[in-house]
Amino acid sequence: MERLTFDLAAQPLRELNTFLHTGAKEGKVGHVTVLNPDGAHNIAVGLDCPINVEVVGHAGYYAGGMNKAATVTITGSAGTGVAENMMSGKVHVKGFASNGAGASAHGGLLVIEGDAGLRCGISLKGGNIVVGGSVGSFSAFMAQAGRMVICGNAGDALGDSLYEAVLYVKGTVKSLGADAQYEPMTDEDIDAVASLLDQAGLDHDPKAFRRIASKRSLYHWNADANQEY
Amino acid sequence: MCGIVGLLVKTPALREQLGALMVPMLIGMTERGPDSAGLAVFGTPLAENERKISLYSGLTDDGADFNWLGLTHELKGHLGVSATVEPKGNHAILSFDIAPTVVKRWIKEHHPRLHILSTGRSIDLYKDIGTPAEVAARYGFTGLTGSHLVGHTRMATESAVTPDRAHPFTAGEDFCLVHNGSLSNPNGIRRMLEPRGIRFETDNDTEAACRFLEWRLREGDDLETALQKGFEELDGFFTFLMGTPDKLALIRDPFACKPAVVAETDDYVAIASEFRSLAHLPGVKHATVFEPAPEEMYVWNA
């Protein structure tokens, strides 16, 4: 398989994304290196073929957004909305990620080795997210399906208004959101965490994680609840 | 939207390059703020009894042709004060050695459309409408020197696009603030401050935050205490970057709706809304890059 390099200090971003949307589908190029990303927005968005893209440096907003089948690695940090609405494949951030990482991802795996900002995994719809560090407040808000493994700590209102997504946290949780609760870890949970950690390349004891899932008390409107949940 | 940038050089030799390092940072934030731009730069303070004010003549009939030297002659004639002036088109820095309130009152009386941008011993302030590149070229930002600066590119959402509503805002002496975001209670803050004799110059929400924090500092709070009261009183979305003669300070609202990223090396601390404004800085590839947490205070000393 061929390898290609795009230097964003010398080439416009559109040239990279156009190649990834068209030429890459011919299947001759297996690996694309992106140099000098310098915080540009929309790097390697909307991919839909199995190609490896390595971004060397810091990416801006929405890197790897809507990813399908491809593997996108960012050696530095990622801005707002990394891997937003991912369908499948993998997005791996070696540094930290800003707000809204993996928002509404339907599938695939998002790995963030450092910390993630606020609202990580908001409205998650089936994707998996593994965070090596901590996540900010309001993470997994209204998350519907999929799993989040958090190796560090979580901020306020973790898992607020959760649907069927399941969260695993190793560190401390500042506060749980409405309708989220701790549940006992089953063998299945331990296997799931072990498998996700393995895919992420992170070394933690799966038994050290706690499971958080929905109480499901918000699923049906309760006129007598008087807005007290 | 809006973009904010801040730069504080730790290595004294870099003070000469402060403006040159900053201009690409400001231009990098053009997409976030294309309608106005401005910055406040802090340098070696004047003597204890001296003050300087930054003035803007763009709203007068003469605009960039304003007779700045004539202004110093008038001040000599009326107030007997020997002022020096450094003009740059529609902008000038006026220095003198009497109480600034006397000079400012005289200017408001005799040149009501001359806008006073800042007052102090350390601060010079420039702001105008136009793209960041245009404003930077208009005032020769590349040649600016000093220890630290605070800059802003504006995409107006809460008040009109005019030079006086551009950022930074100032209040009192040697204090400035830039803002990315929108406050939801600026009028409440105004109603609290106005009966205390604090006067506002615009209807801009950021001016309320600036005057609130400067009021707290003047009441004796240190910067950290004032910022804590800011968290308690100011409601809305904000990333604020503030400058004083010896400090650069950054805070973000509890929801962190507005971005910020910091790059720190042995030579400098640089702050911007996004990394793309930091990418050109020397040694940034080996800098410590981090995202400041919400509701935390970050204060760097010049």
pLDDT value of position B1: 81
Q: Give CA separation, B97 vs A59, B54, B79, in Å.
A: 50, 15, 12
Residue B215 has pLDDT above 70, yes or no: yes
From CA A18, how far away is CA B21, in angstroms rounded?
33
- Asked if A79 and B274 come within 8 Å (Cβ–Cβ), the reply is yes
pLDDT value of position A1: 86
The crossing angle, in degrees rounded to 10, of helices B205-218 and B186-193 is 40
Residue B277 has pLDDT above 90, yes or no: yes
Residue A226 has pLDDT above 80, yes or no: no
pLDDT value of position B158: 82
Q: Is residue A103 part of a domain?
A: no
Give the tens place of pLDDT for each residue, A204-213.
999 999 999 9
pLDDT value of position A228: 67
From CA A107, how far away is CA A87, in angstroms rounded?
4
Helix (H, G, I), strand (E, B) or coil at B157: coil
Q: Is residue A221 part of a domain?
A: no
Is-catalytic flag, B176? no
Give the tens place of pLDDT for each residue, B20-70.
999 999 999 999 999 999 999 999 999 999 999 999 999 999 999 999 999
What pLDDT band is residue A224 in, cutting at 50, 70 and 90?
confident
From CA B294, how far away is CA B302, in angstroms rounded?
23
Q: Could you tell me if A127 and A84 lie in one domain?
A: no
Range(s) within chain B of domains with CATH label 3.30.70.100 = 49-121
Chain A: residues touching B (Cβ < 8 Å): 36, 38-40, 57-58, 60-61, 76-77, 79-80, 95-96, 98-99, 115, 117-118, 136-138
From CA B197, how far away is CA B175, in angstroms rounded?
18
Q: Look-up: residue for tokens 């802090």?
A: B42
- The three-state DSSP-derived secondary structure of chain A is CEEEEEECCCCCHHHHHHHHHCHHHHCCEEEEEEECCCCCCCCCCCCCCCCEEEEECCECCCCCCCCCCCEEEECCCECCCCCCCCCCCEEEECCCECCCCCCCCCCCEEEECCCECCCCCCCCEEEEEEECCCECCCCCCCCCEEEEEECCCECCCECCCCCCCEEEECCCECCECCCEEEECCCHHHHHHHHHHHHHHCCCCCHHHCEEEEECCCCCCCCHHHCCCC
Q: Could you tell me if A119 and A42 lie in one domain?
A: no
Q: Could you tell me if A66 and A120 lie in one domain?
A: no
pLDDT value of position A229: 58
CB nearest to A80's CB, from B259, B290, B294: B259
Q: Could you tell me if A11 and A89 lie in one domain?
A: yes
Q: What integer is the mean pLDDT of B75-101?
A: 96
CATH superfamily of B3-45+131-301: Aminohydrolase, N-terminal nucleophile (Ntn) domain (3.60.20.10)
Q: Could you tell me if A202 and A121 lie in one domain?
A: yes
Chain B: residues touching A (Cβ < 8 Å): 254-256, 259, 261, 274-280, 285, 289-291, 293-294
Q: Could you tell me if A131 and A62 lie in one domain?
A: no
Residue B126: CB partners within 8 Å, gap ≥ 6? B38, B39, B40, B54, B88, B91, B117, B135, B139, B141
- Asked if A60 and B275 come within 8 Å (Cβ–Cβ), the reply is yes
User: What's the domain count of chain A?
Assistant: 2
Distance from CA of B31 to the nearest CA of A (A): 11
Interface contacts A/B by beta carbons within 8 Å: 50
Q: Could you tell me if A59 and A14 lie in one domain?
A: yes
Give the tens place of pLDDT for each residue, B122-179.
999 999 999 999 999 999 999 999 999 999 999 998 889 999 999 999 999 999 999 9
Q: Is residue A37 part of a domain?
A: yes
Q: Is residue A122 part of a domain?
A: yes
Q: What integer is the mean pLDDT of B290-299?
A: 96
Q: Is residue A46 part of a domain?
A: yes
Q: Could you tell me if A89 and A23 lie in one domain?
A: yes
Q: Is residue A65 part of a domain?
A: yes
pLDDT value of position A101: 98
pLDDT value of position A222: 77
pLDDT value of position A227: 67
Give the tens place of pLDDT for each residue, A11-32.
999 999 999 999 999 999 999 9
pLDDT, mean over chain A: 96
List the catalytic residue out of B2, B176, B210, B257: B2
Range(s) within chain B of domains with CATH label 3.60.20.10 = 3-45+131-301
Residue A220 has pLDDT above 90, yes or no: no
Q: Is residue A222 part of a domain?
A: no
Give the tens place of pLDDT for each residue, A118-128.
999 999 999 99
Q: Could you tell me if A17 and A81 lie in one domain?
A: yes
Q: What integer is the mean pLDDT of B176-203?
A: 96
Give the tens place of pLDDT for each residue, A68-87.
999 999 999 999 999 999 99
Residue A225 has pLDDT above 80, yes or no: no
Domain B49-121: top CATH class: alpha beta
pLDDT value of position A78: 98
Q: Could you tell me if A61 and A120 lie in one domain?
A: no
Q: What integer is the mean pLDDT of B244-270?
A: 97
Q: Is residue A170 part of a domain?
A: yes
From CA A199, how far away is CA A109, in angstroms rounded?
9
Residue A106 has pLDDT above 70, yes or no: yes
Q: Could you tell me if A73 and A129 lie in one domain?
A: no
The boundaries of the domain holding residue A121 are 115-214
What pLDDT band is residue A167 in, cutting at 50, 70 and 90?
very high
